[in-house]
Amino acid sequence: MTQHSGLTPERWSRFSHPQRILMIANEMNRARRLMGPDDGASRGLAYERVLNLVDLTVLVAERRPVRRELLRWRDLVAALYLEESPRPGHHARTLRALLQQTPDSAVQIALLER
């Protein structure tokens, strides 16, 4: 069973949009630590969790521009998921693009660069 598989749209919608973005970023951060040559399966599962959370976020998003931006961002994660070899630089840029989506999450960018 995949982590977050029991998470319903109703429960997910109780979180604010910035909280949802930060929870997706948390999963991306987990994937960031799985860039070794032997981490492919675990990295793939982490990206699956990211994609599942993005899908939930798109489902409950009330504003069309938010859905549109998340769907564009989702394409970046899907490309990472399909890669056979890790791409740490691409992953870092993708995570940064996610965090730039809300003022609350943008604050976290400085913490990643430490």
Residue 5 lies in a domain: no
Residue 2 lies in a domain: no
pLDDT tops 60 at residue 6 = yes
Residues spanned by the domain of 95: 11-112
- pLDDT, tens only, 35-66: 999 999 999 999 999 999 999 999 999 899 99
Contact between residue 41 and residue 7 where contact means Cβ atoms under 8 Å apart: no
Q: Kindly state the percentage of the chain with pLDDT values over 70.
A: 95
Residue 66 lies in a domain: yes
pLDDT of res. 1: 43
- pLDDT, tens only, 56-94: 999 999 899 999 999 999 999 999 999 989 999 999 999
Contact between residue 14 and residue 47 where contact means Cβ atoms under 8 Å apart: no
Residue 41 lies in a domain: yes
The count of domains in the chain is: 1
Residue 21 lies in a domain: yes
pLDDT of res. 74: 98
Residue 78 lies in a domain: yes
Please give the C-alpha separations between residue 95 and each of 11, 31, 59, 73, 101, in angstroms, as whole numbers. 24, 10, 21, 9, 10
Residue 1 lies in a domain: no
Residue 22 lies in a domain: yes
pLDDT of res. 21: 97
